[in-house]
Structure 1
Amino acid sequence: MAYQALYRTWRPQKFADMVGQEVVTKTLQNALRTQQISHAYLFTGPRGTGKTSAAKIFAKTVNCLHPVDGEADGTCEVCQAIDQGTLGDIIELDAASNNGVDEIREIREDVNYAPTLAKYKVYIIDEVHMLSTGAFNALLKTLEEPPANVIFILATTEPQKIPATIISRTQRFDFRRISASEAYERIVYILQQRGNEYDEKALKVIANAADGGMRDALSILDQALSFGDGQVTLDNALLVTGSVTQTLLGDYLKAVATHQTDHALAELTKVLAEGKDANRFIEDLISYARDLLIAHEAPDLVNLVPDDNFNELLQKEEQLWYQMIDTLNEVQQQLRFTNRPSIYLEVLTVKLSRLELLTQVEAQAVQTTPANQSAEEPAQPVEKSVMLEKTVTPTKSNSTSTRDKSNVKKASIDKRHVFAVLDAATRGDLNRMEGVWADVLAQLEVTKKAMLNTAKPLAASPDGMVVGFDFEIFRDKTFRDETLIQFLMEQIQTLSGSEHERALVLITNEEWSDLRSTWVQQHHVKQSKADVEQAAQPAPEENAIDLPEDEAPAPVVQKAREMFGADLVEVHAD
């Protein structure tokens, strides 16, 4: 006899064999026991969780001649015919390949004929969401009022695609994902029945990789058995699933948690060299961080076997693992849209190794924010902000600029510091920075160049420059890379011919529009006050010559034209 896949050989034959769906099986058994049988059911849930198996078991049990406590006896004439696939009263239809109106019309005609051997004709329509609109409309009336001896069971992984008029005519059962522990127990049972040798650690790897699907777990187990010649070892399971060993995960996380970026990148290189899947690697990291997070509160729920790395990482603050899981989730979403996952993993490694440092920077920023002003609100103009005077640019006194280099930081991500640059910014400085930016990027290595390709100069003054990024993650990584910041400043100074380095203010492009508008409004308010004071002065002599308004633009208008270009500035009367 030809070999049959494990998920087919060990498909549940009765409700008691189903894994992880106790609520569904108990409800269906009670309905069968009390003969409260509906005419239509809808089984929904992730792939491989037992929807089709439950439908077949229900069809067998409802037609069994001698059911026992809501279970088919498996020995009667009907049960044997169903097991052998020779009973024509159980009709299975794949809606993915039979989704037209004609197929549904055939069902509408067939339901009028009585069953040949069974008590009920049962129509099992798998992937029902694939039916066309016309097919759903054709099924609607029949599904609402079928003959008394007809039962419909609809199965789908995407219930949101099914019309509400169909759902309202069925009893809905939601199948949940199968937990790793439940999948593990089922795999152990199957291997014991088969007499195969196995490593418990390998089975846990397979159960975790199945991601809630029992069919996926058995398919992976099938591969591991074939690869290991009937044995399931940890190495084989890791190779088949693309997972990473616990030791390697522990070494990687220990490196990033202790800010050893170079060592963490070396561990990542090992992972990539072995051809491991990027998504699976991040999933493994999330699982490891999750175990570290709950180890103190619920040790029984930890999936990993604690080792030296695990025990050492347990000493870290829980906040680190919260942040790490959030960061891993973000990058996992981004991996879906790239063909170069290795770059994202390298960026991820650097970011994870600086999580604690970033937290400290953010905490300091919060502490320096005035109590009556939120971190998201722009600060007052530079001359009223002590923080800006010490951090980004020099203060102005009698129109003379002084610069205390000991108080100037090389880079900032505080949005309030944009105002300090704008106060002294000119269009000429911005043009020069735009001209040298591409030349600066050309000298970077591939990974850093790819990251900074999403950034561009937005405003520049003799002492500073505002750089806008498309993505916050790249902005943060650039800010934390002191070597990169120093290189950028040196190259900008060299290529632009400046006498001194420019401080960099790093923001996202989403923030730029609001910050620019706020700066213009603040300066407009200042000019309005100046106009009031001027109006209070004595009237000019009669022979004084007044310049036309268009020949003497207001200072704020002149400043805006210098910064953004005359072609981009429009003046509207209040």
Structure 2
Amino acid sequence: MSYQALYRVWRPQAFEDVVGQEHVTRTLQHALLQQKISHAYLFSGPRGTGKTSAAKILAKTVNCENSPVSEPCNECASCRGITDGTIPDVIEIDAASNNGVEEIRDIRDKVKFAPSIVPYKVYIIDEVHMLSIGAFNALLKTLEEPPKHVIFILATTEPHKIPLTIISRCQRFDFKRITANDIVKRMGYIASQSGIDFDEKALSVIARAAEGGMRDALSLLDQAVSFSDEKVTVEDALAVTGSISQSYLNQLAEAIYQRDISNALQTLEKLIQQGKDPSRFIEDFILYFRDMLLYKTAPGLEEAIERVMLDEEFRQLSEVISPEQIYEFIDILNKTQQEMKLSNLARIYLEVALIKLCEVKAVQQAGGEDIKQLMRELEMLKQELNILKANGIPQLQEEKSASPKKTARISNKGYKAQTGKIQEILKDATKQDLNLIKSRWGDMLETLNSRQMRSQAALLNEAEPVAASSTSFVLKFKYEIHCKMAMENAKFLEAVSIILSEITGIRYHLVGVPEDQWNIIREDFIQNQKGEGSSEDTTEEDPLILEAKKLVGAELIEIEDN
């Protein structure tokens, strides 16, 4: 065939052509100039990142007639012979198909012979992790102490499969995934040199689909050139890579923001009819929201954005969608992606995920409207307070300062505790019932959180049970507003009662009370008990017990009859 694939034509022939691996090429160049060449190297990293190319460049550079140099000249007989594979002293071995003990023993027997043409005999063993255990053992001693004229270069995509005894005998270089920007630059150069007309955005689509591999990117570019008419467009790149057009992703994000489930499902139907892979779609959508989150939180890091192009529609959506919502979106999509791996019903999972995303948006928007309403009411209260101050509030403040006890009573009118019920509970309260609830209180809070009731559980952060009977208990709140919110939430009260019933086996009725009101109700109850002078409880008359109650409080006193 006269035609050669782009990745073969443009295979790097010098270290400067190896894209995105400066940490490797610079180290090797310095070692070559200083003639500090190791006897064994291990190149590891993802596919298509330049491992084998760097190995051949190293073989050429160390055998170049102009050495020591940092780059091969690619003009001398040695460089040209190694490039076209006519020099037998540079041996490339595919360990995937030559992974037995016999092949390695053959290398071990021939390695002691001096090179015939160039100064160094170089063995490049690709996919070295495919060697058998016996082959690794056969290679071990030779790799540790080879003749001075031999260099081993091992290349692998899975270094964890190589025995540590082999790794410890090599200089290891880890090749990393090439960034999308570096891939776009290299593809642009190659396309320009090859006379290919292209759209810059099309190269970006191909670079993202390549997932950090330069060889994959050039193979996709080859396909896009064959698919296109005269110019490689974004549509051509999307068709070849199977990626989702950003316009579709923008439409879906807009539908989710508008809570338009119908539009979201229709857009998904169009993508499926176009033959888009559901797994690829959900991966693109996760990256879309990931890039949106980065753009919102760190707009200066545009080079970190992997999937999206910063068009006007994307910028507008980024302004109205909050980071909290994006966290929820990514979480739902990630869970859906995991579930899809275990099922053949990918489409159903996608449809359910889109509906969930729209529902999350609705909840977030409802919360926003509530906050706006509260802000409006707060502003109205401020205006009313200013009017009252202008019409005699100072006199009211003087009256309040003259009677501080009344002030405390008036401030509690926001929520009035159920005094009668609390006193009934106190009459039947026992230490054992209170200890039972307190001992399981932490379990109850954990259960509330696990059932997605975190906001309700937050109300109980500053609350504690202070009295309990066999059927009811009193819950003291540090803040009156928390008590009011809790006691007016029937769903919350029912949940606490059910969870305590599951944990303790007893269905309790909860009665809430703010801390300052609790102190008053408790003191009134103690005084009433004193006034009654019940003959049934003679310990109330004991002056020592009365004095102890004054000092530490009645709830901390436990009386035992001897």
- TM-score w.r.t. the length of structure 1 is 0.65
Q: CA deviation at 1:44?
A: 0.7
Which aligned pairs between 1:432-451 and structure 2 lie closer than 5 A? none
Q: Please give the alpha-carbon distance, in whole angstroms, between the structure 2 residues aligned to 1:358 and 1:321.
A: 13
Query: Contact between 1:251 and 1:309, CA under 8 Å: does it hold in 2?
Result: no
Equivalence for 2:315: 310
**Structure 2 counterpart of 1:179:** 179
Greater mean alpha carbon deviation, residues 185-194 or residues 322-331? 322-331
Q: How does 1:158-307 map to 2 (within 5 A)?
A: 158-229=158-229, 231-296=231-296, 297-299=298-300, 300-301=302-303, 302=305, 303-307=308-312
Is the deviation greater in 312-321 or in 231-240? Answer: 312-321
* CA 1:315–1:110: 2 relative to 1, 3 Å: same
Distance in 2 (CA, whole Å) between partners of 1:111 and 1:236 is: 50
CA distance 1:261–1:172, change in 2 (3 Å):
same
- 2:251 alignment partner AA: D
Question: What is the identity, as a one-letter code, of the residue corresponding to 1:158?
Answer: E
**CA RMSD of the aligned region, Å?**
2.7
- Alpha-carbon distance in structure 1 between the residues aligned to 2:325 and 2:240: 31
Q: What is the aligned length?
A: 400
Is 1:355 aligned with 2:446? no
1:51 is the counterpart of 2:51: yes
Query: Is 1:342 matched with 2:347?
Result: yes
Q: Partner amino acid for 2:99?
A: N
Other-structure match for 1:530: none
* Partner SS state of residue 215, structure 1: helix
Q: Distance between the aligned counterparts of 1:382 and 1:330, measured in 2?
A: 42
Q: Deviations over 1:308-366 (max 9, x none)?
A: 35313322212222332333333333333322221221122122223345676755334
Determine if contact 2:279/2:337 at 8 Å carries over to the other structure: yes
Alpha-carbon distance in structure 2 between the residues aligned to 1:266 and 1:351: 16
Question: Which consecutive unaligned segments of at least 5 residues does structure 1 have?
Answer: 374-379, 387-405, 424-515, 524-574
- Spell out the pairing of 1:458-469 with structure 2 (5 A cutoff): none
Taking a change above 3 Å as real, the CA distance of residues 339 and 418 of structure 1, as seen in their structure-2 partners, is: farther
Residue by residue over 1:15-69, the C-alpha shift from the partner in whole angstroms, topping out at 9 and shown as x without a partner, is 0001100010000111111100001001111111111111111111111111474
CA distance in 2, matches of 1:123, 1:415: 71
1:364 pairs, out of 443, 447, 455, with 455
Aligned to 2:413: none
Q: Are the aligned partners of 1:254 and 1:309 in contact in 2 as well (CA < 8 Å)?
A: no
- Alpha-carbon separation, structure 2, partners of 1:315 and 1:206: 29
Corresponding residue for residue 481 of structure 2: none
Contact 1:104 1:135 in 2 (8 A): yes
Q: Is the 8 A contact 1:20 1:178 kept in 2?
A: yes
Q: Distance in 2 between matches of 1:144 and 1:372?
A: 69
Task: For residue 284 of structure 1, report the CA deviation from its aligned partner.
Answer: 1.9
Q: TM-score, normalised by structure 2?
A: 0.66
Whole-angstrom CA distance in 2 between matches of 1:93 and 1:113: 18
Q: Residues 155, 385 of structure 1: CA spacing in aligned structure 2 closer, same or farther, 3 A cutoff?
A: farther
Note the alpha carbon deviations across 1:451-486, whole angstroms, 9 max, x for none.
Answer: xxxxxxxxxxxxxxxxxxxxxxxxxxxxxxxxxxxx
Q: 1:323 and 1:82, CA in 2 relative to 1: closer, same or farther beyond 3 A?
A: same
Matches within 5 A, 1:523-562: none
Q: Is the 8 A contact 1:7 1:218 kept in 2?
A: yes
Structure with the greater alpha carbon radius of gyration: 2
DSSP 3-state at the match of 1:49: coil
C-alpha deviations, 1:130-185, integer Å up to 9, x for none?
Answer: 11111111111111111111111111111111111111000000001001111111
Moved more, 83-92 or 311-320: 311-320
Deviation at 1:236, TM superposition (A): 1.0
Residue 214 to residue 230, structure 1, CA distance change in 2 (3 Å): farther
Q: Percent same amino acid at aligned positions?
A: 51
Cα gap change, 1:170/1:407 in structure 2, threshold over 3 Å: closer, same or farther?
A: closer
1:325 to 319, 325, 330: 330
Identify if the C-alpha distance between structure 1 residues 265 and 385 changes in structure 2 by more than 3 Å, giving closer, same or farther: farther
What is the CA–CA distance in structure 1 between the aligned matches of 2:65 and 2:362, rounded to whole Å? Answer: 70
Q: Is the 8 A contact 1:39 1:146 kept in 2?
A: yes
1:278, 1:215 → 2: CA distance? 25
Deviates more, 1:345-354 or 1:154-163: 345-354
Report deviation, 1:269: 1.2
1:264 shift after superposition = 1.3
Structure-to-structure mapping, 1:76-115, within 5 angstroms: 76-115=76-115
Maintained 8 Å contact 2:62/2:68: no
